[in-house]
Amino acid sequence: MAQQDAYEFTSRENETIGKAATWALALAGASLVMVAVHLVFAFMGTDLTDLSFSLLIFDLGAGLVSASCYLAAGILFAVVGSALRRVVHTEGSDLQHMLKALNTLHRVFVVRIMLVFVTVMAVVAVIAIGEGLL
Amino acid sequence: MTQDDSAQAGGGADEAALSVGQYEFNADENVSIERAGASAAIWAVCAVVGAVLLGTLAVVQYTLDNLRGALLVLPLFLICAVAGWLYLGAGKALKEVATTEGNDVELLMRALQRMATAFRNEVIVTAATVVLFVVLYLVTQL
């Protein structure tokens, strides 16, 4: 028997895993709401009559990048939540589902860390443009 | 004896324990767990750095006699600090799963419990943020 099928989580453990699954799915929903919020603010906050290309890129670009990162995080959180749900509801491959959830969780954090770096770079770029360095 | 039976047998020994199951993850599984723990810890550091920056901003606002500005920044500081603390704990527990022996399932459950709390807090904060955005938008339009 493969080792990944050698352990079945107990009902108490399933309770903890189930809670994590529920909140991961809720966070997926919240991330998708934030996609809509960022898109709305990106288009409403952009002065389309301003012909300055760099300003248009920054106004619209920042919103679109944030929305894309939230979309990716939302989809990945949904995958994490469903994998954890499968750990609770299925038998025979609990560890496989758990490892899939953990691998996806790693990707979620990588996406978020990337968003932080993109934000920092954007702030630096805006300051540099404001100071006339670019 | 099934896993549930063994859980009941050991349940009275330590009520705070989330698991009494015994399983030792293999090397491949440990790699996945450690990677998730490492990225959770890095994300926690980002949140803590954000909290430090926001805390500094709040102090600066206060010293500039802008109490309103300091109060506005304070909730964001608390959110970042709590998220950083929760994800740091989850990341540490996941790393311990990979680096220790004999308590893997319990540590995994502790990590998932902290992660669930962090997720719940994020959902609440996101909902509050969306409501705040809408209220601010409506107020500024009037």
The residue among B83 and B11 whose pLDDT is bigger is B83
Q: Would residue A113 count as lying in a domain?
A: yes
Q: How many domains are contained in chain A?
A: 1
State the nearest Cα–Cα gap between B96 and chain A, in angstroms.
14
Percent of chain B with pLDDT over 90: 28
- The closest CB to that of B130, out of A37, A95, A99, belongs to A37
Q: Which residue of A has its CA nearest to B107?
A: A13
Q: Which string of DSSP letters, residue by residue, matches B84-128? A: HHHHHHHHHHHHHHHH-SS-HHHHHHHHHHHHHHHHHHHHHHHHH
Q: Which residue of B has its CA nearest to A44?
A: B137
- Average pLDDT of the segment spanning B117-139: 85
State the nearest Cα–Cα gap between B72 and chain A, in angstroms.
21
Q: Would residue A71 count as lying in a domain?
A: yes
Query: Across chain B, what does the average pLDDT equal?
Result: 81
State the nearest Cα–Cα gap between B70 and chain A, in angstroms.
22
Model confidence band, residue A15 (pLDDT cutoffs 50, 70, 90): very high
Task: Sort out which chain A residues have CB atoms less than 8 A from B26's CB and list them.
Answer: 3
Query: Across chain A, what does the average pLDDT equal?
Result: 83
State the nearest Cα–Cα gap between B142 and chain A, in angstroms.
17
In this prediction, does ipTM exceed 0.90?
A: no
Q: Would residue A3 count as lying in a domain?
A: no
The residue among B141 and A8 whose pLDDT is bigger is A8
pLDDT at A53: 67
Instruction: With a cut of 60, say whether residue A104 has pLDDT above it.
Output: yes
Domain that holds residue A88: 9-130
The predicted model scores a pTM of 0.78
Model confidence band, residue A25 (pLDDT cutoffs 50, 70, 90): very high
User: Is residue B89 within 8 Å of residue B114, measured between CB atoms?
Assistant: yes
pLDDT tens figures, B30-79: 999 999 999 999 999 999 998 899 899 889 988 998 887 788 788 778 88
Asked if B21's CB is within 8 angstroms of A109's CB, the reply is no
**Residue A123 contacts B, CB cutoff 8 Å:** no
- The closest CB to that of A10, out of B7, B108, B112, belongs to B7
Q: Would residue A1 count as lying in a domain?
A: no
Asked if A17's CB is within 8 angstroms of B7's CB, the reply is no
Task: Return d(Cα B128, Cα B35) in angstroms, integer.
Answer: 31
pLDDT at B80: 85
Task: Sort out which chain B residues have CB atoms less than 8 A from A14's CB and list them.
Answer: none
Instruction: With a cut of 90, say whether residue B120 has pLDDT above it.
Output: yes
Burial class (CB in 10 A: 0-12, 13-18, 19+), B51: buried
**Residue A24 contacts B, CB cutoff 8 Å:** yes
Q: Which residue of A has its CA nearest to B37?
A: A106
